[in-house]
Amino acid sequence: QKEVEQDPGPLSVPEGAIVSLNCTYSNSAFQYFMWYRQYSRKGPELLMYTYSSGNKEDGRFTAQVDKSSKYISLFIRDSQPSDSATYLCAMPKTSYDKVIFGPGTSLSVIP
């Protein structure tokens, strides 16, 4: 079993839709959870960073962590064409200086 799993998509939604992106993980020791966004022909960039269970909101983005289910989600409200990208969940390993990345979900927001 992979440590971090994501549905690769592709996911295609109309502009203005609410998007839900999800990851599951197997290592209960993960404490920090990150979402990276990667545009085509670009490197990943950190989008959100959360610690332990609960919700964190940043503008149109909400990150949700359910440690009991080993499940994390990223919600995008009022999605825009500029949100079209691949979204990777990521979790630091014990040393925090190494990170395990999910394979990414490709999202297209259609105008």
Asked if residue 43 binds another protein (CB under 8 A), the reply is yes
Q: Give the residue with the Cβ less far from another protein, 21 or 88.
A: 88
Choices 9-17, 52-60, 64-72, 101-109; region in contact with another protein by CB under 8 A: 101-109
Q: Give the residue with the Cβ less far from another protein, 33 or 79.
A: 33
Residues in the chain, overall count = 111
Q: Which of 21, 34, 63, 85 binds another protein (CB under 8 A)?
A: 34
Residue 15 half-sphere exposure toward CB, CA atoms < 13 A: 5
Asked if residue 15 binds another protein (CB under 8 A), the reply is no
User: In Å, how far are 14, 103, 110, 111 from 23, measured between CA atoms?
Assistant: 22, 10, 23, 26
Query: How far apart (Å, rounded) are the C-alpha atoms in residues 55 and 52?
Result: 9
